Structure 1
Amino acid sequence: MSAFNKSTSGADVVAAFPEAVQGKTCKRPMSTWTWCLLTWAIVVITGPSAGGLGAQTAIFLAAGKPAEILLLGRTESKATSVMEEIQKISPSTKVSFIHLDLTRFDSIKFAAAEIKKLVSKIDVLINNAGIMGVKEYTLTPEGLESQFGSNHIGHFLLTNLLMPSIETAGRGARIVNVSSNGYQLSEVRFSDYDFDNGKAYDPWHAYGQSKTANILFTVSLASKLARKGISSFVVHPGAIYTNLGAHVEMSEWATVGKMFNDRGYPSVGINKNLAQGTSCILVAALDPSIESNYLSDCAIEETPDYAHNTELAQKLWALSEEIVGEKFQL
């Protein structure tokens, strides 16, 4: 990982690991017989709107010529140019769009079923979609605070529904959850994750809670899947201008910076472009040398106890199962 840093472009990461995108060779011991099987990679990415991290990640991955890229989002027209660009770069790569609304359990279940019809395995799942700083207290159709519901619970359900396909890919398969340093704004409020039905709502504490949840979810996945050789990572891509900030007014950033400072963390302004923002995601998806679960600037970064404590991770897993009404045995 020493070759990659804050300034690295995602294109450089893909170029460094062509075998991770194209496939892998499996061999039997010479004492019996030897065979090789090239399995072309299939990648699923949520949040593929043009101009966002998911879209740019998919475009860079296309240069490695994976077998398929499945783009999951709410509006196909916002991903049309992305799909066209992928096909230009790699005509051999099959690219599909699947409708997904992470706030709706029925939409998530439908998307998972459609994916299973299209592909038999998933080598890399990148949970990238998210919302940030929703000013007014808003509930999902399932009755959840919108940022917690979309950023964490939606991806929790989607990932678990897709797990059979990830397990079919076998050892080396990866799950990448896109978090942010926003986790520094709040712990998971286990006893009041809905902010007293909105009475105690703060958009940035809500965002922070959802990003901490992304990390704790990854801690659980990494623990549960280790024996199967399936890895899970969580990344902070950096501070970047994307459509993620659609709800945020420029005047709010000074207040947000003070919130970071008040909790003992430095406030950080825009520090990367879109290409640089994808690099950490792609390191997590492709670099075989990494073992830790939280990455920032393409390097391992420590997080406070509330974001990596295994007991809290288990507690969040149990709460998430209760919310979605299903139990998942991995």
Structure 2
Amino acid sequence: MSSYDGQTKASDLVRELAPHIHGKTILITGASSGLGATYVETVIKSPRPPARIILTVRDQSKGQAQVKKWSYINSDVNLQVISLDLARFKSVREAAKRVNELEFAIDVLVNNAGVMAIPYEKTEDGNEMQFQANHLGHFLFTNLILNKVLESKSGGRIINVSSDGYRLGHVRYSDHDFHNGKSYDKWMAYGQSKTAQLLFSEELARRYGSKGLQAFAVHPGVNMGTSLSRHVNEKEAETFFGSLTAIDQLQGHPQAWAGLKPVSPDQGVATQVLLSFSQDFKDYNGDYFEGCQPLPKDEVYPWALGERESRKCWALSEKLVGERF
């Protein structure tokens, strides 16, 4: 096993992995801010950068502003912006259509965008917002452009940015919208959406691993101050870890959130960068990673692991997006 850990920096990895980054085509969701922006800026600074990066963003102006900034850093990388609102299936289908019209394959797809701990809200498609923005939108988008990823000559990669917070909630197969909001808990809903991303990764590997696809779920570490936490108000921020510890204790989880220390953005994207380009993790296809290491399966909560659960989550996701894959 590699010597990488939670202190590993992506800025170091892009030098080490430069031969495998060179010439690649990367597509990343939620790239205009937060860890998505950090990932892009770090990768384009590699001594041997990718050929192109496709940025999907909700706000075109923010995306174009980032492109202008990054073009000054490395003008050799082709940067393209595509509008994508994961909370609207119509937008997802339109974005996927644009991707499928491109004349090149996608080597690495990073499903990075997401929201966290927001008040109860339903999307125009009728789903609880966190479940759609974090999981269902990515599920639909990924499947619609999957052939582009499978066309990669180097073997396509899909990196699903999940969270250690998956343990806060299992997939509620018979009540995914929390009784239409009546029993809604924002942290349990966040956990449900992140559990789904673990199961999605496992099922992608099971279905398409024989075609060369590698899929991984990733915990990026604790990164306060990113746009992900924009719905956590100041009062909550003061007791952020305490409130999550209380939920863990309520559910009987032993480790809780006590003692977790925030990591830098450079460290926060290291696992994503490592799994995007390293050649060392083929035997861990479909697994969940924390701190640049696969979490042992006996440490993964049972609701986020196994063929039975991954198949059930896939079937529910197909039902909610209205399409079978």
Distance 2:170 2:153 in 1: 33
Aligned partner of 1:301 among 287, 295, 299 = 295
Q: 1:91 aligns with which of 55, 75, 78?
A: 75
- The answer to whether 1:63 aligns with 2:45 is yes
2:131 corresponds to:
148
Shift of 1:7: 1.4
Distance 1:211 1:298 in 2: 18
**Shift, 1:171, TM fit:** 4.8
1:31 paired residue number: none
**Is residue 277 from structure 1 mapped to residue 260 from structure 2 by the alignment?**
no
Residues 171, 228 of structure 1: 8 Å contact kept: no
Aligned match of 1:288: 279
Q: List alignment gaps of at least 5 residues for structure 2.
A: none
Q: Secondary structure at the match of 1:247?
A: coil
Query: Deviation digits for residues 105-164 of structure 1, max 9, x if unmatched?
Result: 1100111111222342100000000000012x1001100000001100000000001111
Q: Give the equivalent residue in structure 1 for 2:20.
A: 20
**Counterpart-to-counterpart distance in 1, 2:160 and 2:123:** 21
Looking at structure 1, the residues matched to 304 and 193 of structure 2 have their Cα atoms a distance apart, in angstroms, of: 11
Q: Alpha-carbon deviation of 1:300?
A: 1.1
Which amino acid letter does the alignment assign opposite residue 2 of structure 1?
Answer: S
State the match for 1:120 in structure 2. 104
Counting only pairs closer than 5 Å after superposition, residues 7-86 of structure 1 correspond to structure 2 as 7-22=7-22, 40-50=23-33, 52-64=34-46, 65-86=49-70
Report the 3-state secondary structure (helix = DSSP H, G, I; strand = E; otherwise coil) of the residue aligned with 1:295.
strand
Is the deviation greater in 288-297 or in 137-146? 288-297
Taking only the aligned residue pairs, the percentage that are identical comes to: 38
Match 1:259 to one of 244, 247, 255? 247
SS of match in other structure, 2:101: helix
| 85-94 vs 158-167, greater mean Cα deviation | 85-94
- TM-superposed CA distance for 1:183, in Å, is 0.3
Aligned mates of 1:81, 1:75 — CA distance in 2: 10
Which TM-score applies when normalising by structure 1?
0.90
Give the residue type in structure 1 aligned to 2:5: N
Instruction: Please provide the CA RMSD for this pair.
Output: 1.4
TM-score of the superposition, structure 2-length normalised? 0.91
Structure 1: segments with no counterpart, 5+ residues: 23-39
Partner of 2:220: 237
> Partner of 1:30 in structure 2?
none
- SS at 1:79 equivalent: helix
After the TM superposition, which residues 174-213 of structure 1 pair with which residues of structure 2 at under 5 Å, given as runs?
A: 174-213=157-196
Contact 1:170 1:230 in 2 (8 A): no
